[in-house]
């Protein structure tokens, strides 16, 4: 009994925040003089890249067909993949894609030695407050993920007295942002870079919306810089505190007490969860241990890279569709999927983006910051096919002020592309509650 109490006491301890260099240099060579310039940027898929890609697609070797009776259970169905590759080769319009993506104002600026690309859209609306919203994506994505939601977030809604100015960067090593040649650029350090980017743009206080690795970076920002973050909305809410893991394990003894009956199946029985994790996280272990090795194959073959990336996109869009030929991919629009694949190929960033898995699970500072709770007001939306589900009583281990939580019976991991209207609705509701939270606390003070 005493040992158990000591163990729980240990798990509840809050560590001292690590001493972090907020201007650590991630660029080549030594730190030169400051360059705070913000430069307009335009996406271009040039003919050299397109011609080389199409030649590689045409010269692909014959793909091994699936086993008899197998759809997506062994991974990417190569019969279905052939259809996608033929579409990418013959019908996908690279130039039109670039023009469409360039409808948003885009910029680059050098932060801590790396050229970061970001979208910045200012609403052209009078009579309402404009609130800064930083949006952070994850792997294998980029700011492209927010293409559908940005117009909705920057448009006035009659029931709200505010609208958003959206800042959507590509994380370093993703999309059109430069990667580092130095080890150690983990989500804590990326969070610092994102804070420095926002300060560069003149924002000392702002809201954040994020999913996947972006949610990890944003969580660290809310933990380390609570005075900057006015509110944090996430579509991948996770508490990685030790006490949270213990509570989930303990809850397996009494599932209907740990989670409401309607949603208990998302977490329990743990046997089913562990089976799913074992089935679907092979890529995770590869990228967390040997990203550069698998990166050689993916860098050299656009067909291989497309299969690898799209298989994961499909599964986390609907994990119950491995018995279909598309494995979940068709829950998203094909052009959205191929935009993501094309951006990775054009920027040769498959390796630099995958390294976040290796960096995210090494280093003492990440483990320390994970175990520090934050009082920043937080909102969570749980879509049906998100990778992991945690009930609110677990999430509050990390997010003490979880003031809004939504659980829906549809949708998946790439919410901004899959269910954009529902995501935006929840962001507006959440930020309204954030504002009320601050007003109430100010009146108390």
Is 357 considered catalytic here? yes
User: Is 292 a residue of the active site?
Assistant: no
Q: Give the E-state strand segments of 170-288 in sequence order.
A: 206-210, 229-234
What residue numbers bound the domain in which 163 lies?
Answer: 44-241+281-444
- Tell me how crowded residue 285 is: count the other CB atoms within 10 A of its CB: 11
Which has the closest alpha carbon to 402: 426, 434, 370? 434
Q: Ramachandran region of residue 216, left (φ > 0), alpha (ψ -120 to 50) or beta?
A: alpha
Q: Residues 6 or more apart from 337 whose CB is under 8 A from it?
A: 310, 313, 329
Q: How many CA atoms within 13 Å lie on the side-chain side of 22?
A: 8
Buried b (16+ CB within 10 A) or exposed e, 258-276: bbeeeebebbbeeeebeee
31 belongs to a structural domain: no
Domain-embedded: residue 229:
yes
Determine the pLDDT at residue 6: 56
Q: How many CA atoms lie within 13 A of 176 on its CB side?
A: 21
Q: Is residue 38 part of a domain?
A: no
Which stretches of the chain drop beneath a pLDDT of 50? 1-3
Reading the block at residue 329, the tokens are: 């991919």
Cα 22 to Cα 261: distance, rounded to the nearest angstrom: 45
Let me know if residue 275 belongs to a domain: no
pLDDT, one tens digit per residue, over 326-356 is 999 999 999 999 999 999 999 999 999 999 9
Q: What does the alpha-carbon distance between residue 176 and residue 373 come to, in Å, rounded to a whole number?
A: 33
What are the tokens at 288? 């967390």
CATH of the domain at 312: 3.40.50.1820
Q: Are 194 and 221 in contact (CB under 8 A)?
A: yes
Strands of 229-301 (E only): list them.
229-234
The reply to whether 401 falls in a domain is yes
Please check whether residue 353 is in contact with residue 139, taking contact to mean a CB–CB distance below 8 angstroms: yes
- CA neighbor of 25 nearest in space, from 111, 112, 116: 112
Angle 135-208-185 from CA coordinates, rounded to 5°: 70
Active-site choice (117, 357, 404, 418): 357
Rg, Å, the chain Cα set: 22
Out of 212, 228, 339, 426, the active site residue is 212
- The reply to whether 22 falls in a domain is no
Residues 322, 117: Cα–Cα separation, whole Å: 35
Catalytic residue of the set 268, 413, 418, 426 = 413
Adjacent-strand bridge partners of 206: 229
What CA–CA distance (Å, rounded) separates 119 from 38? Answer: 12
194 occurs within a structural domain: yes
Domain assignment present for residue 326? The answer is yes
The pTM assigned to this predicted structure is: 0.95
Is 413 a residue of the active site?
yes
β-sheet with 162-169: strand ranges across:
38-40, 106-111, 114-121, 162-169, 129-136, 206-210, 229-234, 378-382, 402-407
CA distance 120 to 108: 10
Q: In sequence order, what are the beta bridge partners of 229?
A: 206
Domain total for the chain?
1
Structure tokens at 106: 């885009």
Strand, helix or coil at 164?
A: strand
Nearest to 401 by CA among 416, 379, 419: 379
First to last CA, the chain: 42
């Amino acid at each position: 009994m005493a040992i158990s109490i000591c163990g729980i006491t240990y798990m509840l301890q809050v560590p001292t925040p690590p001493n972090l260099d907020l201007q650590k240099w991630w660029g080549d060579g030594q730190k030169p003089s400051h360059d705070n310039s913000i430069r307009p940027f335009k996406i271009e898929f040039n003919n050299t890249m397109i011609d080389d890609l199409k030649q590689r697609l045409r010269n692909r070797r014959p793909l091994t067909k699936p086993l008899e009776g197998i759809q997506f259970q062994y991974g990417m169905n190569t019969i279905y993949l052939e259809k996608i590759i033929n579409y990418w080769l013959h019908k996908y319009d690279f130039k039109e894609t670039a023009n469409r993506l360039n409808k948003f104002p885009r910029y680059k600026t050098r932060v801590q030695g790396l050229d970061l690309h970001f979208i910045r859209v200012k609403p052209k609306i009078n009579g309402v407050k404009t609130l800064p919203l930083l949006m952070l994506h994850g792997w294998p994505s980029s700011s492209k993920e927010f293409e559908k939601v940005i117009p909705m977030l920057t448009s006035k809604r009659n029931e709200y007295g505010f609208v958003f100015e959206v800042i959507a960067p590509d994380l370093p090593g993703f999309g059109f942002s430069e990667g580092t040649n130095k080890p150690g650029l983990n989500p804590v350090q990326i969070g610092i870079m994102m804070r420095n980017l926002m300060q560069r743009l003149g924002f000392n206080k702002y809201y954040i919306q994020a999913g996947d690795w972006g949610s990890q970076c944003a969580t660290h920002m809310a933990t380390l810089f609570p005075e900057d973050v006015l509110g944090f909305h996430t579509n991948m809410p996770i508490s990685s505190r030790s006490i949270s893991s213990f509570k989930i394990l303990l809850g397996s003894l009494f599932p209907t007490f740990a989670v409401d009956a309607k949603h208990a199946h998302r977490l329990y029985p743990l046997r089913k969860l562990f089976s799913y994790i074992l089935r679907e996280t092979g890529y995770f272990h590869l990228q967390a241990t040997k990203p550069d090795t698998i990166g050689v194959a993916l860098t050299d073959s656009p067909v291989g890279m497309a299969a690898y990336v799209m298989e994961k996109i499909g599964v986390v869009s609907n994990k119950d569709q491995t018995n279909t030929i598309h494995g979940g991919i068709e829950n998203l629009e094909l052009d959205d999927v191929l935009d993501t694949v094309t951006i990775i190929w054009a920027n040769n960033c498959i390796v630099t983006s995958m390294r976040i898995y290796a960096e995210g699970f090494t280093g003492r500072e990440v483990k320390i910051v994970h175990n520090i709770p934050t009082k920043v007001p937080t909102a969570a939306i749980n879509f049906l096919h998100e990778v992991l589900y945690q009930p609110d009583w677990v999430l509050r281990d990390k997010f003490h002020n979880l003031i809004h939580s939504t659980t829906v019976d549809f949708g998946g991991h790439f919410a901004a592309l899959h269910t954009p209207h529902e995501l935006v609705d929840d962001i507006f509701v959440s930020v309204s509650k954030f504002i009320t939270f601050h007003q109430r606390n100010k009146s108390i003070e």
